[in-house]
Structure 1
């Protein structure tokens, strides 16, 4: 440990970055240009990028049934009975209508997906084509840079030791490494959330126009990656104002102005496309239908170890909601989204017990206690690292350091927000990952303190 203490700050940071890159390269290089399975949303993001390059718009390309993901699906069809019959019928119907999910028209622009990650996919597709190794290398750089942001957040809020501990944990954190192999938006949202929190911390240190601008712009980029974070922004602004209304009122206004400016091209584009104000993506209604229909994604629930009790299924009201609406050709994606949202809310109100049960199951899968333990040994070990070590240590640190609430509450608030919001809408641990760095920082308070105590007791008093 003495050699680490003797190194300069820049040397330590470069070491953390290189360690993170090395770990990610160890997973990326063997994969090469091959697709990662199960590919889930990877195919969709690939098609969105291809549409931007080949067709010149953000949406589903005029011919989505090409490319490596489509070829893989054709050559490796799922076993009979694995996919629920209702989903097979829906996919067949949607393909016949030439609409993704029955909402997004093939060969036409759409507002179903936020634009930032598809723009990244488009750039990679333009530069590298289907050589996915280069796509992954860029994600690895971004993921490794996130470790440096985590270091800076931990150092500025607590101590250098906490910052380095958190950064090193993030460098090896299996889930962060995993999503540099899978070409989805997780690495993007983790990075831009970390960038937003970093500038939030800097704004607290130096209230003024500069960090107000950077904080607002970072929040805008975060929103353009995953619009569900919109509800988090007021909480962060309130935390600033609670600390000192006089010092932070003007920087908060500046941040909100530059947030609005950053997302304005997206909002203007949507208004010109749809003829009305569209801030959020248009997939909310589809998600409500999908995530409250236990028959449509029955296979995913079983993979997570969730088996909805028959007593609940037998008492479902408004069963017509379980059938996907029959839209007319004149209804655009805005109208279809409204119909799905309205009908979905009616279904939830008619089935509060089912909704509560599904929310509880989603909560457990997001935390990690449901799903990871029902899989193989590697999943169990990784899951235990997350909810068995990091989660309890983070919660303990949050309680023990209650006097530092100005520093700890924003971090825990981010974690609670992601877990709470996605418990209502999605299942799976991936939706919690953007908040994990802040739980890791809290856990690192205890880890760093323990390491320093042991080192000073047995090896001297020169640890950091």
Structure 2
């Protein structure tokens, strides 16, 4: 009962902190803050379908994955298109989602370190209070939903490995499908998901659960892929924009991100009024001043050329342009990759919002705490964290090789919080391995366990 009260306390704390941030920062009153998600949502409500103006053409698109624009459209349907009221509804919904994120972190911690409740409590506290995760609730962006789905998918994968139940495997695959339809790049965590299942069942025992995970994932994403084939006349796996993103991160004018480095940004960053809302307003103004790389790298002729071909072909054209630019400067790609890795691990210096001392201090603190947590954790817990480590490593590698931004880091931050919390396992009193084996043994014994449970200590996990 005490554990349950602490869990609910952390969930309520997460929601309360995010609700407070929404009302204090007033981001729902910032104009032009919804970007492509808002435009697609507006088109959905206007009967034009999943469409957006993108690279010189206006029409049906796969520029964004479908889940989040549909959510934005739901808020618009209630509160009006891009009104402060609809954005407030959306942000308050994301505040509640912050509570679900904490619940997912607690579930993952219970699976990874079942004998160390303090690991879960500390990880849950980090997820509830880490400034970037709180601030994300005040933005119309997919990062917070993606973070929740990444954490939940890994938690269910560990659970599937422990129980072997078909139901758990199907839920895991369904969560992966939702994740793919939210941000397809994050499906890279499937490697960690598979490892977690094999870790619990062994290779032979994992065959059926892994098959069910794959089946649920395929069934979940198939309708959207079929829609893309109908719209574009070719196979498009959820999004059509890999080449476009690669071009943004690697063309001649790129610093490795999609932002433009302008001297005027520093002037705009100076708050025009005091308080947190004043700081937030200046960060938004600086973000709009910086703009996207497209604003300076593409000409009117470029837009005419790109607008005359299909959306997937536009992306391929830009990808080829980026490759030509990189060939013209040997060694530049390696430098960009190293720069992106630095931006990802520390902070993106091209993004005006990372100029905030609060952001930089909290980001560096989480990074250092995560590294120390892995170093100090008990050996068996460090091994059980392996699936989360490979998930984070693959996501970091992808963005190192293509393009990086602050929002791409948010989905892994709950996992970094879990690593940081793993340090307290060294001072715990119970081995994670023995508890995991004991819990699994109890489940397998079933009826006999219930019959013999009256014998003192017989079914204690350590025993």
Of the candidates 38, 47, 55, which is equivalent to residue 55 of structure 1?
Answer: 47
C-alpha separation in 2, matches of 1:376 and 1:422: 18
Deviation at 1:57, TM superposition (A): 0.8
C-alpha separation in 1, matches of 2:344 and 2:127: 19
Of the candidates 214, 229, 248, which is equivalent to residue 271 of structure 1?
Answer: 229
* Count of aligned pairs: 386
C-alpha separation in 1, matches of 2:70 and 2:23: 24
**Superposed counterparts of 1:308-387, under 5 Å:** 324=302, 327=305, 330-369=308-347, 371=349, 379-387=356-364
C-alpha separation in 1, matches of 2:145 and 2:77: 19
Asked if the contact 1:372–1:380 (Cα under 8 Å) also holds between the matched residues in 2, the reply is no
Mean Cα displacement is larger for which, 432-441 or 339-348?
339-348
Tell me: CA distance 1:213–1:395, structure 2 relative to 1, closer, same or farther (3 Å): same
- Cα deviation digits, residues 302-342 of structure 1 (max 9, x gap): 7999xxxxxxxxxxxxxxx9874762654111222222223
Of the candidates 286, 291, 294, which is equivalent to residue 244 of structure 2?
Answer: 286
Of the candidates 405, 409, 414, which is equivalent to residue 437 of structure 1?
Answer: 414
C-alpha separation in 1, matches of 2:327 and 2:43: 38
C-alpha separation in 2, matches of 1:174 and 1:372: 20
C-alpha separation in 1, matches of 2:259 and 2:78: 39
Give 1:153's aligned residue: 108
C-alpha separation in 2, matches of 1:372 and 1:162: 35
Give 2:153's aligned residue: 196
Asked if the contact 2:161–2:196 (Cα under 8 Å) also holds between the matched residues in 1, the reply is no
- Cα deviation digits, residues 59-86 of structure 1 (max 9, x gap): 12xxxxxxxxxxxxxxxxxxxxxxxxxx
C-alpha separation in 2, matches of 1:34 and 1:238: 41
Give 1:101's aligned residue: 55
Of the candidates 199, 202, 219, which is equivalent to residue 261 of structure 1?
Answer: 219
Tell me: CA distance 1:380–1:30, structure 2 relative to 1, closer, same or farther (3 Å): closer
Give 2:208's aligned residue: 250
- Cα deviation digits, residues 361-394 of structure 1 (max 9, x gap): 22112112553999888x234323322x322332
C-alpha separation in 2, matches of 1:236 and 1:372: 33
Mean Cα displacement is larger for which, 273-282 or 296-305?
296-305
C-alpha separation in 2, matches of 1:435 and 1:292: 24
Give 1:117's aligned residue: 68
Scaled by the length of structure 1, what TM-score is found? 0.76
Q: Considering Cα pairs closer than 8 Å and 6+ residues apart, tell me whether 1 or 2 has the greater RCO.
A: 2
C-alpha separation in 2, matches of 1:180 and 1:390: 19
C-alpha separation in 2, matches of 1:25 and 1:234: 35
Give 1:28's aligned residue: 22
Deviation at 1:395, TM superposition (A): 2.1
Give 1:393's aligned residue: 369
Give 1:213's aligned residue: 170
Q: Secondary structure at the match of 1:411?
A: helix
Of the candidates 110, 130, 134, which is equivalent to residue 89 of structure 2?
Answer: 134
Scaled by the length of structure 2, what TM-score is found? 0.76
Q: Secondary structure at the match of 2:251?
A: coil
Q: Secondary structure at the match of 2:305?
A: coil
Give 1:73's aligned residue: none
Asked if the contact 1:291–1:426 (Cα under 8 Å) also holds between the matched residues in 2, the reply is yes
Tell me: CA distance 1:31–1:58, structure 2 relative to 1, closer, same or farther (3 Å): same
**Superposed counterparts of 1:77-96, under 5 Å:** none
C-alpha separation in 2, matches of 1:168 and 1:192: 18
Deviation at 1:286, TM superposition (A): 1.4
- Cα deviation digits, residues 173-195 of structure 1 (max 9, x gap): 10011011111111110111112
Deviation at 1:414, TM superposition (A): 2.0
Asked if the contact 1:368–1:429 (Cα under 8 Å) also holds between the matched residues in 2, the reply is no
Asked if the contact 2:55–2:307 (Cα under 8 Å) also holds between the matched residues in 1, the reply is no
Deviation at 1:207, TM superposition (A): 1.1
Asked if the contact 1:304–1:372 (Cα under 8 Å) also holds between the matched residues in 2, the reply is no
Mean Cα displacement is larger for which, 283-292 or 323-332?
323-332
Tell me: CA distance 1:419–1:38, structure 2 relative to 1, closer, same or farther (3 Å): farther
Q: Structure 2: where are the runs of 5+ without partners?
A: 267-296, 430-463
Give 1:74's aligned residue: none
Tell me: CA distance 1:241–1:383, structure 2 relative to 1, closer, same or farther (3 Å): same
Tell me: CA distance 1:194–1:221, structure 2 relative to 1, closer, same or farther (3 Å): same
Asked if the contact 1:36–1:181 (Cα under 8 Å) also holds between the matched residues in 2, the reply is no
Q: Secondary structure at the match of 1:277?
A: coil
Tell me: CA distance 1:228–1:374, structure 2 relative to 1, closer, same or farther (3 Å): closer
Asked if the contact 2:191–2:390 (Cα under 8 Å) also holds between the matched residues in 1, the reply is no
C-alpha separation in 2, matches of 1:54 and 1:48: 10
- Cα deviation digits, residues 289-309 of structure 1 (max 9, x gap): 21113526673487999xxxx
